[in-house]
Amino acid sequence: MRTQPHPALPQGYSRRDVIALVADVGRDIGLSTRLTDILTRMIGSTDQDAWVDPEKEPIFYGRQETFAQRLRISTRQLRSHEKSLQKHGLIQRRTLANGSRYGSAGLGLVLTPLIERFTEFLDIREARKAQFERMKQLKALRSVRLATFRDELARLSEDDQSSADVQAMIQERTTWPRTDTLLSLGEAQLSQHLDDATSLCTTLVEWIENHSDSSCEPEETFRSYIQEDIHQIHSEECNASDNKRSAGLPAHSDSIMSEPDGPDDCREKQLQAETEALQGLFSGFYGLSHAISLASEEFQMEMEARSGERPEYALVEAAAARVPHLGINITAWAAACDRMGRTKAAICILLLDANRDHAVNPVRNPGGALRGMIKAHNRGKLNIIGSLIGLHRRRGL
């Protein structure tokens, strides 16, 4: 008579969780689709209490002939599949010499190994999820490389784009894999591709810097976007007869998508002076550093990891790294970079990330909010400076 209790699932888990877990990690532990299906059907045919009760064992008692008919395969094929499951260490055979199984005698296919390996399978699933998140982050960074190469190339004159050096870089760029194939590359290959893409973008930027006279388009910077935003604010006349308020005065709203409409008359002079001072702070030489100081702790950690890079580039890289963690679809991020430019899109990510803990209107759907910001940008209504000022005030700085 057995004196030791049988293994049981960790508290809070049930037979249903075993089925879901096996279905999820089947390929990771070397099972074919057919073997995974057979094993989950076996699990579903056992006593559900046997998975959590130390006094019981999960045993599959079904006759081979009957089970084979359910699976629409031959008995011989089923025996072969059962042997494969044994070799994988997922079941134990406890039958009579002729293969007979009896529930009353506890004879059948014992599934206790699944309980013993349950935490192992949980770790496998978590590791795969973590890898997938890293892959998505690499994919987001690749989208930054695409935008960087395109935008830097656009700064060159036609003559310089025709030069041998630049043409060689353009040719190398055409060898990059398509965006929709990146996740199928595997983490190691995708990481190597990202390194190669980074190297190519760096080469192009250095070429432009060494041929400064060739650049016909200004480089996008944080300051340029903020100054552009302030110019838009000042172009909105403060008219007491107009029911619209200035976008630069978001005193009673920390909305990340503020639009330029406000009270019937101008804000108090004190508030207006404060706002203008903050506009100057963000548009000044240290404006980017101040904006980063308002970012979430996670965003700031991403910036610190890139402390050796140029500030604007580090900002974009940090934003791209945060995109998967915020649940933002890569296509939305790519669209933001395409419509707004990399720097402005990165500022939007900074704002969305920082406003997740907003006391009144927390950002619960960053992906949807980013698409809303893209639409606001297309209408000329995206108020970046107002949003930064609102965040500044909320931080109590």
Mean pLDDT, rounded, of the chain: 81
pLDDT tens-digit map of 165-199: 999 999 999 999 999 999 999 999 999 999 999 99
8 A C-beta contact, residue 383 and residue 229? yes
8 A C-beta contact, residue 42 and residue 93? no
Contacts for 158-161: CB closer than 8 Å, 24+ residues apart? 159/214, 160/211, 160/214
Question: What pLDDT is recorded for position 97?
Answer: 66
Confidence at 387, pLDDT banded by 50, 70, 90: confident
Mean pLDDT computed over 221-235:
47
CA 150 – CA 176 distance, rounded (Å): 13
Confidence at 217, pLDDT banded by 50, 70, 90: low
Question: What pLDDT is recorded for position 344?
Answer: 86
Residue 149 CA to its chain's centroid (Å): 22
Confidence at 98, pLDDT banded by 50, 70, 90: low
Question: What pLDDT is recorded for position 239?
Answer: 41
What is the CATH architecture assignment of 15-116? Answer: Orthogonal Bundle (1.10)
pLDDT tens-digit map of 293-303: 889 999 999 99
In degrees rounded to 5, what are phi and psi of residue 59? -130, 135
Residue 87 CA to its chain's centroid (Å): 37
Residue positions counted in the chain? 397
pLDDT tens-digit map of 52-94: 999 999 999 988 899 999 999 999 999 999 999 999 999 999 8
* Three-class secondary structure assignment of the chain: CCCCCCCCCCCCCCHHHHHHHHHHHCCCCCCCHHHHHHHHHHHHCCCHHHHCCCCCCCEECCCHHHHHHHHCCCHHHHHHHHHHHHHCCCCEEECCCCCCCECCCCEEEECHHHHHCHHHHHHHHHHHHHHHHHHHHHHHHHHHHHHHHHHHHHCECHHHHCCHHHHHHHHHHCCCCCHHHHHHCCHHHHHHHHHHHHHHHHHHHHHHHHCHHHECCCCCCHHHHHHHHHHHHHHCCCCCCCCCCCCCCCCCCCCCCCCCCCCCCCCCHHHHHHHHHHHHHHHCCCHHHHHHHCCCHHHHHHHHCCCCCCHHHHHHHHHHHHCHHHCCCHHHHHHHHHHHCHHHHHHHHHHHHHHHHCCCCCCCCHHHHHHHHHHHHHCCCCCHHHHHHHHHHHHCC
Confidence at 151, pLDDT banded by 50, 70, 90: confident
Dmax of the chain from CA atoms? 97
Indicate the residue type of 47: D
For residue 274, pLDDT over 60 is answered with no
Q: What is the pTM of this model?
A: 0.63
For residue 396, pLDDT over 90 is answered with no
Mean pLDDT computed over 134-154:
88
Question: What pLDDT is recorded for position 101?
Answer: 73
Question: What pLDDT is recorded for position 319?
Answer: 93
- Which residue ranges make up each domain of the chain? 15-116, 129-214, 222-395
Confidence at 2, pLDDT banded by 50, 70, 90: low
Confidence at 279, pLDDT banded by 50, 70, 90: very low
Residue 90 CA to its chain's centroid (Å): 34
Confidence at 261, pLDDT banded by 50, 70, 90: very low
Mean pLDDT computed over 101-121:
87
